[in-house]
Amino acid sequence: MHYRSIADARTLSGTRLILTAGVPGPWGEAAKAIFRQRKVAYTPIAQELGGSNDEQVAWLGIRNAPVAVHDEERPRSGWAEILFLAERLGSGPSLIPADAAERALMMGLAHELAGENGLGWSRRLTIVSGPIEEGPSSPAYGFARFFGDNYGYHAGVGRAAAQRCVDILTMLSQQLATQQAAGKRYLVGEALSAADIYWATFAMLIDPLPHEICPMSDDIRAMYGSSPAAIKAAASPALLAHRDFICETVVGLPFEF
């Protein structure tokens, strides 16, 4: 993926998507997949993982990624506002169900995957809590402290966050089983929705795909693949197979960062 700088981004119009360069992040990969599925063309702009990203902050007041900026409109960094931007700008089948009850379910599942205290958020807390609690002698302490300070770490949160991951994965496994028992292919209703895409991309924090289709550094792979056994066991084989299906048919393989 060819990234442009923030300085370039400021001179461009159209849709720009700020992404953590060179690193597979589930929020960024979900945004890319949603733009791709909705046929929204965009210019990728580089954010530095864990960096101060001063130019980005000076421009938008937001340090992390992803951030979607369309023309002179306000920046959008939350998963839901990025999704609604893609719905508005794009074309083809909607990723949000038309039926109100299905839509409410889909948005709820998406929040459980991508929102605050959702699967990605909670799994990140399980990753950082070990090194933070071990203290500065841990080689990962600095990194973990930074992410912990930015994304909701407090003493003792690791255990609750791990349980939340288990609960969410159990719920998703049951939801898919219910759908499949009714002869339905996707997580909600009859058609592909954003919930399928969030699951396919956030699953990398539970069970990273092999290097050939999802290349990442050894450090990131070790971190993403380090879930406690109870978290791994909570994702049913069918839910992981659904991840494979959505990655192959929608997200596009290999992942490219």
* Binding residues vs ligand GSH (CB under 6 A): 20, 25, 27, 49-50, 64-65, 77-79, 114, 150
> Cβ 75 to ligand GSH, closest distance in Å?
10
Q: Which residue has the tokens 């990273």?
A: 208
Q: How far is the CB of 183 from ligand GSH (least distance, A)?
A: 33
Q: Least CB distance from residue 30 to ligand GSH, whole Å?
A: 9
- For ligand GSH, the closer of residues 40 and 114 by Cβ is 114
Nearest distance from residue 19's CB to ligand GSH, in Å? 9
Please tell me the distance from the alpha carbon of residue 87 to that of residue 96, in angstroms, as a whole number.
8
The answer to whether the CB of 125 falls within 8 A of the CB of 163 is no
CA distance 189 to 46: 36
Nearer to ligand GSH, 175 or 201 (CB): 201
Q: Which is nearer to ligand GSH, 77 or 175 (CB)?
A: 77
User: In the bound complex, what is the minimum distance in angstroms from residue 57's beta carbon to ligand GSH?
Assistant: 11
Residue 125: Cβ within 10 Å count: 25
The Cα 177–Cα 181 span in angstroms is 6
Which residue's CB is nearer to ligand GSH, number 38 or number 189?
38
For ligand GSH, the closer CB: 40 or 113? 113
Plot region of 117 (φ>0 → left; ψ -120 to 50 → alpha; else → beta): left
Residue in the shown chain whose Cβ atom is closest to ligand GSH: 64
Residues sharing a CB contact under 8 Å with residue 152, sequence separation 6 or more, in sequence order: 116, 117, 121, 125
**CB-based contact 241:172 (threshold 8 Å):** no
Structure token digits, residue 29:
């990969």
Nearer to ligand GSH, 101 or 222 (CB): 222
In the structure encoding, which two tokens stand for residue 12, read together?
């461009």
Closest separation between CB of residue 128 and ligand GSH, Å?
Answer: 10
Q: Collapsing DSSP states into helix, strand and coil, what is residue 233?
A: helix
